Amino acid sequence: MRVELTDVSKRFGDVRALDEVSMALASGDRVALVGPNGSGKSTLVRAVMGIVRCEGLVRLAGEDPFLHRTRLASYLAYIPQTAPQLGATVGEVTRAVAALRGLAVADIQSTATAIDLDLDAARRRPVRALSGGTKQKLLIALALAAPASLLIMDEPTASLDHDGRNAFFRLFDERAAGMTVLLCSHRLDEVRRLVDRVVLLEGGRIALDVPVTSPELAERLNAGSAWREEPGTGGRSSGRRVS
C-alpha cells in the first residue's frame, strides 16, 4: 500500500507535534521512524492510521485515512507499544478481533503459537493481568493473524526477551512479505533487522531520510548524542537505543 504525506502538520494546544512533514512510502517499502521522545513519531503514525485529524495531505492508496478509516483499516495491521489495561479476558479479545477481521479464532491461535504464546492457557485471564511480554506477544498475534497491506509497529519488541524477539523476527519474515512497513523504534537491532530506510524526526520535522546502510546514519549513531547503549541486551544485535 502506498503511503503519502504532504506538508502534514498537527498541533496539540501550543505544542506543534508535526511541522510540515512530507514523505512517501511506495508499496512494499520498509521505513523506520526514529527520534527522541516528543519528536512526533507517534503522531505521524496516528495520522497515517486516520485516528487524528491533521493539516496537509495524508493518503493511503490515494485515500484520506481520516475520512475512509474504516475501509482502509481492513488493510492495516497495527502493533502498539503497550497493551491497554483491558479488563476483558484474552479469550474475549481474541474472539472480538477474529469477528472484526472476519478470521477464525484458530488463525490467531496459530499466529500466537508461532510467537511462543499459548493462547489456550491464557484464555481466561484478563489482559491487564498478563506480564508485559505476554501482552506484547498477544498484540503481535492479533495484528499479524489478519492479511494486511500496511503494517505499523510501535516498538514491537520492547517487552520481549531474546527468544521472544527472535520468534517475532521469524514471524515477521513469514507474514510481512510484500507489506509496506512503518516502524517506530528506539532499538537499533529492530531497525537494522526490519527496515531498509530510516527517517529521523526532530521537533516534528524530518531531520534525516536515508537508507539504513547510509554512512550519514552511521555518523549520527557514532556521534552518541542521539543514540546510547542499552545494557543487558544480548544476541547478535547491538542493542543500542535512540534516546
Partner 1 sequence: MSTDPVAAGQAPSTLVRVGALARLEGGEVLRSRWLVFCGALYAALAALFVVVGVRESGVMGFTGMPRVLLSLSHALVVLLPLLALTGTGPGVSRARRDGTLELLFSHPITRDDYIGAVTLVRYGALFLPLVVLVSGLAAIGATVFHQPIPWALLTRSLVVSAALLWSFTGIGLAVSARVREPERVVMYLLLAWVLGVALLDFGLVGLMLQFDLPAAAVFILAGLNPVETARLALLSGTQPTLGTLGPVGFFLYDSLGPARLFAAGVMWPLLVGSGAWAMARWGLRTGDLV
What are the residues binding partner 1 (CB under 8 A)? 1, 27, 46, 49, 51-53, 61, 69-71, 73-78, 80, 82-89, 92-93, 95-97, 99-103, 126, 139, 143, 146-149, 152, 178-179
Considering the complex, what minimum distance in angstroms separates the CB of residue 147 from partner 1?
A: 4
First CA to last CA distance, the chain: 30
The secondary structure of 164-221, three-state, reads HHHHHHHHHHHHCCCCEEEEECCEHHHHHHHCCEEEEEECCEEEEEEECCCHHHHHHH
**Radius of gyration of the CA atoms of the chain, in A:** 18
Considering the complex, what minimum distance in angstroms separates the CB of residue 79 from partner 1?
A: 9
Considering the complex, what minimum distance in angstroms separates the CB of residue 146 from partner 1?
A: 7
Q: Between 47 and 199, whose beta carbon lies closer to partner 1? A: 47
Considering the complex, what minimum distance in angstroms separates the CB of residue 50 from partner 1?
A: 8
Q: Between 153 and 242, whose beta carbon lies closer to partner 1? A: 153
Residue 177: other Cβ atoms inside 10 A:
8
C-alpha separations of 83 from 69, 121, 123, 133 in Å: 21, 19, 16, 10
Tell me if 175 sits within 8 A of 206, measured CB to CB: no
Q: Between 128 and 228, whose beta carbon lies closer to partner 1? A: 128
Q: Between 93 and 200, whose beta carbon lies closer to partner 1? A: 93
Tell me if 129 sits within 8 A of 86, measured CB to CB: no
Q: Between 33 and 93, whose beta carbon lies closer to partner 1? A: 93
Considering the complex, what minimum distance in angstroms separates the CB of residue 75 from partner 1?
A: 6
Tell me if 75 sits within 8 A of 63, measured CB to CB: no
